[in-house]
Structure 1
Amino acid sequence: MNAPTRGRAQPSSIEEAMDLLARQAMKPCEDGDVGRALDLVRAELDRMGTVQVELTEALIASQDRVHAMKALAQINVQGVASDATIGLLLEKALTLTDASLVFVFTRSGLVATAGDTTRVDSCVELATQTLAHASQGLLWSTPDDGAMVGALDPDGATERYVGFFRPDGHAFSTVDIPLVEAIVSALGVMLAFNELHQHELAQAAVEREHQLASALAQSVITDQPPVSPRIDIFARTTPASLTGGDFYVFGQTDGSIWFAVGDVAGKSLPAAMLMTRAVAACRIAFLANHDASVVEAFSRIEDELFDHLDDVGLFITMVVGVVDEAQRTVSLVNAGHSPVVVVRDGETQFVPASVPPVGVVRNRVPRTETVFLDHDDCVILGSDGLAEQSDPRGELFGYDRFRALCEQTYELPTAQLGEAIFDAVDAFAKGSPVSDDATLVVFKRAAVER
């Protein structure tokens, strides 16, 4: 072939080569022009083939990312994050970010991984070092941009992070940041919901334990008061929550009915546990002191409870007494409890406390109040949950209203009297939540002796 003509312009594209061939077809060929044009055509066709392959690969990668994004969107990031769900999200993160390794970790170790784990230890070390030198923000890159580290749920109870590592020579760029941030956010939300779910499970377990403890605590309270041929007794307690601190307890011996009505300071499980201890102490005192005075029985109860109450920093308001069935008298000691109402000849009066609540001051000698039950006379022992019940406006039922209610109902039979007081307090509340445990015990002469 002839050598190329000196000084003639060289075709630089397939369009120029085709133009050159067209011109040569119109006139006699010059040496080298046709061969040079064919070489350019072949080179351009090769380049176009390479570009086509690259475009095809890019299109396939783009489609893979679209499918991965759709799969990511279908993962319920607001559901419970099981190990399988977290693993699925990490697998999608691999595809979306072109990473070779993705893992969740804390400063103390790995949580979950996806991808090639052959160099996971060195990658975790590098990610930890990146965190140690990180500035403010939630997403950081390694010095060579070959990896990115993001913070998961930064406000959560546990500091957790996710690391994205690409193969050597494939650095992350600013174009990748929005996608990585989206994945970090999705994974963070999932783990946050998982943490909340675990907390709810733990809370449910605690509440279940409280329910069982409450059931055991309430079971120590006698369902029905003792039956007497000369004295009618009403007794009812309604805890404000699953675990209440109000209680009543009876002990019956020949011709006598011992009783105690109390209110443990505080609410919930601690109050219920103290209540069971108080009921046990009262029962022991009633059995051991059935022929003793009310003051001696109260002292026995105080001795049993004081040290424990002092240790836990709580106290119990309490009324302790005994009913002499033959004499139809009620003798009682009031240790800081209210309301305690006595109705004599149609007139009501509060019985004030003669000693502080049990657990406050020890070995004080209480004063005893004795009431003879004649005709419609009665002794009404309530708890502050009745007098301090509020209505929707926040107004309390109050002790004066409670006293007036006793004046209005004392002539009713014992059971009706007790229910009337509860009904009146409920009506006053008008649907407002109960503010405290409500307990009521009523002693009255039997309408017909049995």
Structure 2
Amino acid sequence: MYEARQNKEKVSRRIDGGSGMARQRVKRKNLEVIKATNSECKSNHIQRKIGFEFETGWMVSKKKGFLTSILSKDKFIRLSKGEKIYNGSGFTVEADDASKSESEIEFVTPPFNSISEVQNKVQNIVLFVKDCLLQSADQSNEPDKSFIFQEKYKIIPPNNYDVIKAGPQVTFGLPLNGVPNIIKGISPIKNSEYRPNLNGLVILIKSYLNNGKQNEYARPLYYPKEITDSGMLARTNFVKLFKIAIERDNLNKYGFFEKYILWKDKKDNHLSIEDWLGMFNDFDLDNRVFGNGILAEEEVGARIEINSNTPYSKARKYALSKSDYRITIKKWLTEIYNESKDILSTIKDSESLGALGEKTEEVADNQEGIFELRKKQGNKIPHTQWLKFAKKWTHKVAKLSHADINDLSSAIRPNIIEMNPTDTDSQETWD
């Protein structure tokens, strides 16, 4: 069995062919998968500049300890989320939650600062996929094509594994006025040209609320951060993003008295709580942020009604009866305005929702929020396209921050990010 840690071992390289996935075996002397330095693979590292994750759907478990093996017939157990499996050159192989009882393989990169880093490191991931995972599954004699990796981990590929498909995620720092270039279909606020950062923040929040909107035909969300799956997830919390928005747009939080009596000439420069909540008047603010509740996939499946026009009604009713997620839209928005706390980052199983607190990333000499693109999560792409995807998004982030593609940390930040409509509307550019 091939062990990825043995770089000098001769291994066969799998080359994808045409229909039927015809293959050639080509001997390679050295597999370009080298253990990364500790600085590249820190636990719970912050992905800056631009980083990538690829969730694969390949199940992984690890051998039990001696005592637990004696007490149980099962020899393998699931891994914890984020548990390291392998350190590569410019990436780590980690465990991610697939369900309550299973874990899957995920590739995670450190922050990249240039297109050349992206080219070299993501290519290393692709080589690892071809020369380790696919190779080992091909050579397995097990009925399910499972194999042991590094004498400790059991990896099980899906039924059809000629390519490894993954839901990609992208993490990067972004000025709030660049949000409308990524999240489409939400109307701007009034006078958005004078409040571009506040506009971006409102659009981001509305994308959350659209996903959580109550719908009798919708299933409950499987986990809280699924509320971000059609857009971006804010890893910097919303209290910090609100502070950034009002500072960038030179706004002041005035109450009723100041607004109408003391500073009549400064109405365009104020933002009262009424103004703030009024920007979301297309939602019922007394409704919950998670309008359909949250329920694990296994629990939803157990409560689906057969032969019903509303197949999720039992699951929704049960999910809404749970007390963990009874947060109203008004409560969430008010806490943000008061700069008190981002409630979503404090709820049960919040995971990466606002998990970085007030941490920001320097983008063109300004501290900006850190975001995770999740709208590509449901669009599984084969490993043969991962590098192309990564390069496209590196170019996109560079364009959004007006940065040099060879040095994403250097950029000239204009007051408002302006992009050519033909660029922003191009599926080739943005998908």
State if a TM-score over 0.5 links the two structures.
no
Which protein is bigger by CA-based radius of gyration?
1
Q: What is the TM-score when the length of structure 2 is the normalising length?
A: 0.21
Structure 1 or 2: more helix by fraction: 1
Q: What is the TM-score when the length of structure 1 is the normalising length?
A: 0.21
